[in-house]
Each structure stands twice: as structure tokens, then as C-alpha cells.
Amino acid sequence: MSSLRLTVLGSGTSTGVPTIGCDCAVCLSTDPKDNRLRPSVLLHYGGYNVLIDTTPDFREQALRLRLKRIDAILFTHAHADHILGLDDVRPINYHQKMVIPAYGTDETLDVVKRVFRYAFDGAPSQSSSPRVDLRPITEEPFELFGMNIIPIKLMHGDGVSLGFRFGRLAYLTDHSAIPEESKSKLQDLDILFLDALRHRPHPTHSTVAQSLESAEELKANRTYFTHICHDLPHAATEATFPPNVRLAYDGLELEVAI
Ligand SMILES: [Zn+2]
Ligand SMILES: [Zn+2]
Ligand SMILES: [Zn+2]
């Protein structure tokens, strides 16, 4: 295994951009980079596809990419914008004829089980349901298809979400703060993704200014901001950043040596 490819399936915040009912310049923009589905990425390494989060836009994201296979799902946390597309893995189940392993903390998996009760209660049903095998993880590193994955604890307001490090790439969505003990796991990165919702402060998300500070402190070669709301026009916002910090956009593909 020599390289890992990351594809951004969605770079938007929980409402997506454009946002329903909004006529702001970003929501009306014709720049495709201002069009942001809900936050998710796909990792491809060693011939395997690993999906991070199943957003309410998962169906559209999978169709855009002509995605036929998912070998595993990693959940960052159980907010609606990160789990509600789980039912749409059913066609993937049919195609690849296997139950998909899905990893998350106990807390996250409990919510997944509650929200998608029909998929886990074992009750007989005439309808199909997503076939996933829920596998609890903690902050301890774990192995997946030959890759050592390091969960990164993040503060998401009063709650917790997990980032994930794969070799020299780390994907940190939904966070308002990165605990000190987590920063030590984020050294020597080639690529780092950070939550950067908007300029105005938010109780559960990092702002552009906070994430620029984190980028400077963590010193990855390249840093990309994601979970972006309609306050940030792509081109104009990026123009204010240092060259090694960029805004992610849907369809962005990155390759990293591992
Ligand atoms: Zn979110
Ligand atoms: Zn708007
Ligand atoms: Zn969240």
C-alpha cells in the first residue's frame, strides 16, 4: 500500500449550501465550489473504499461519484447531518452482497441504533433495511484493511466527535476545540482537514479565525477547511488565506503517500 486517495463528497454544513429559502449571494452563486452537500469524505486505499459518515445527501454523493462499493463506514458522531443517509446504503448491500462494517463510539452507535431501529431490531419485515455491522471503537487506534487508524477526540460544543488520522492525513470535522492531548496526535501531517463553519462565533463549530490558528499551530503541509456555511464565498474567502490553507469543495480529490 503506497498511497491513499481522499475524495470530498460534501463540504457543507448541516443545512447544505444553497440553504433552503435563502437568497444570499453564496446560495445564488453560479460557482460550483459554492455548492456544498453535507459533510463527508471517501477514502480509497489498498483497493478498499472507506466512507466517513452517511449524510442526508449520501444518495446524491454516491451517484455523482458512481460509487458501487463501500467496504466500511466510520462515523464521526451521530448528528443528523452525519448519519441520516444510512438507509441509502441498501443498493450497495445488494451489489456487493455483504454486510458493511460501521465503526463509531458506543454513544454514536446507540443513536444510530435508535434512529434506524428497523435495521437492528431483528423484527421480521417485508421491507428492506440497510445491512451494517456496528463495531464500537474508543480513542484507541485500530486496524482497518491494513491501515492503522487513529481516532482523534474533538470537543463539539458540550459533546464529543471523533476525527480520524490515516498515516499522514487527518480528517477533523465538527469541532469547536481540539484538546491538547489530541494535538500531539496531529503532528507531521501532509494533509489536515478542519471544521471552519463561518466567521461569526458558534457554540459547536470552529470559526475561520480559530481554524487558521489551528492550521498554523499544527503545521500540516496542506490544510483544508470543511463544514462550511453560506457565509463564506469560495473564491473571495480563499483569497484571504495563506497558500497552504484552502477551502475544501465537493469533488476535491487529494492523494497522499502513506
Ligand atoms: Zn455536522
Ligand atoms: Zn444563503
Ligand atoms: Zn455535529
Which residues have CB atoms below 5 A from the ion given as ligand 3? 79, 174
Whether 133 contacts 98, CB under 8 Å: no
Q: How far is the CA of 167 from the centre of ligand 2 (A)?
A: 36
Q: Residues with Cβ < 8 Å from 156, sequence gap 6 or more? A: 77, 174, 175, 176, 204, 205
* Amino acid type, 134: L
DSSP code at position 105: -
Whether the ω angle into residue 18 lies within 30 degrees of 0, i.e. cis, is yes
* Phi-psi group of 16: left, alpha or beta (phi > 0 → left; psi -120 to 50 → alpha; rest → beta): left
Q: How far is the CA of 29 from the centre of ligand 2 (A)?
A: 9
Cα of 189 vs its chain's centroid, Å: 18
User: Which grid cell sits at 241?
Assistant: 488565506
Binned at pLDDT 50, 70 and 90, residue 1 comes out as low
**Helix, strand and coil percent figures for the chain, each rounded to 5:** 25, 30, 45
Q: How far is the CA of 81 from the centre of ligand 1 (A)?
A: 5
DSSP code at position 86: G
User: Which stretches does DSSP call E strand in the chain?
Assistant: 3-10, 40-45, 48-52, 72-74, 100-104, 132-136, 142-144, 147-156, 159-166, 169-171, 191-195, 222-226, 245-247, 253-257
Q: How far is the CA of 210 from the centre of ligand 1 (A)?
A: 17
Predicted TM-score (pTM) of the model is 0.97
The three-state secondary structure class of 247 is strand
Mean pLDDT (the chain, rounded): 97
Which residues have CB atoms below 5 A from the ion given as ligand 2? 19, 22, 24, 27, 230
User: Could you give the percent of the chain with pLDDT greater than 70?
Assistant: 100
Q: How far is the CA of 84 from the centre of ligand 3 (A)?
A: 12
The pLDDT tens digits for 118-172 are 999 999 999 999 999 999 999 999 999 999 999 999 999 999 999 999 999 999 9
* Residue reference for cell 498511497: 3
pLDDT of 58 reads 98
Q: What does each C-alpha distance from 14 to 37, 55, 57, 143 come to in angstroms?
A: 9, 9, 10, 30
Q: How far is the CA of 30 from the centre of ligand 2 (A)?
A: 13
Whether 230 contacts 236, CB under 8 Å: no
The pLDDT tens digits for 75-117 are 999 999 999 999 999 999 999 999 999 999 999 999 999 999 9
The pLDDT tens digits for 70-79 are 999 999 999 9
pLDDT of 144 reads 98
* Cβ count near 242 (within 10 Å): 10
